[in-house]
Amino acid sequence: MRIGVVAVQGDVREHLRALERLEVEAVPVRRPAELEGLAGLILPGGESTAIWRLLKWSGLVEPIEELHRAGVPLFGTCAGMVLLAKEIVNWPERFFGFIDIAVERNASGRQVDSFETEVEVAGIGTVPAVFIRAPYIRRAGPGVEILAEHRGQPVMARQGTVLVASFHPELTDDLRVYELFLKMCG
């Protein structure tokens, strides 16, 4: 199974290492041709507006939209969740809009407010979760399944072939969130 990680900015190496630990062929994606033959694609954490500009500059926006239309699973973490959300409540721009959620960018606070905790993920159990300027889900449409919450705020969700998380599973040793995504890709 080949899983791509958008490699224009953000936590790319960490996602690639996690996938390699699961003995999955992990591919950094910088150009449209590198999307061919992927079973799934991860949009990493980083800075959502910077990632979006680089996706447009590299010609990846339309090919990622085609992947989504073809039913290839997508997994967005932190900024990747912002990119995949239908609405951003505190930002005028909208990006892909593949999952019917409204998110608030940087809802967990500034960089100095970053923290690590545990969250209960439906179907997985308790997992470590690293929150760095994390977005929170402020609204979820009727077709969205909330998979995890932190202090009453939804922080992980799934709709169809799209999985999103506010936190950074790539910064922990626990691979169960990736295993969930790989099942979606399988």
- Specify the pTM: 0.95
Active-site annotation holds for 87: no
pLDDT for res 109: 62
The pLDDT tens digits of the residues spanning 106-164 come to 666 666 667 899 999 999 999 999 998 889 999 999 999 999 999 999 999 999 999 99
The residue annotated as part of the active site, out of 68, 149, 168, 185, is: 168
CA dihedral of 41, 46, 48, 51, whole degrees rounded to 10: -60
> Which of 81, 82, 80, 99 lies closest to 91 in space, CA to CA?
82
Query: Which of the four pLDDT bands, split at 50, 70 and 90, describes residue 2?
Result: very high
Active-site annotation holds for 20: no
Q: Is 156 exposed, middle or buried (0-12, 13-18, 19+ CB in 10 A)?
A: buried
Active-site annotation holds for 78: yes
User: What end-to-end distance do the CA atoms of the chain give, in Å?
Assistant: 8
The residue annotated as part of the active site, out of 68, 78, 104, 185, is: 78
- 3-state percent helix, strand, coil for the chain, nearest multiple of 5: 30, 35, 35
Residues near 140 by beta carbon (within 8 Å), at least 6 away in sequence: 100, 101, 102, 146, 154, 157
pLDDT for res 110: 64
- Residue 173 has a CB neighbour count (10 Å cut-off) of 8
Q: How far is CA 35 from CA 7, 29, 62, in A?
A: 12, 7, 11
> Which of 9, 12, 47 lies closest to 27 in space, CA to CA?
12
Going from N- to C-terminal start, the domains of the chain cover: 2-185
The pLDDT tens digits of the residues spanning 34-66 come to 999 999 999 999 889 899 999 999 999 999 999
pLDDT of 105 > 90? The answer is no
* Beta-strand pair 85-88/74-77: unpaired
Tell me: domain 2-185, CATH 3.40.50.880, correct? yes
What proportion of the chain, given as a percentage, has pLDDT over 70?
96
The residue annotated as part of the active site, out of 14, 34, 149, 170, is: 170
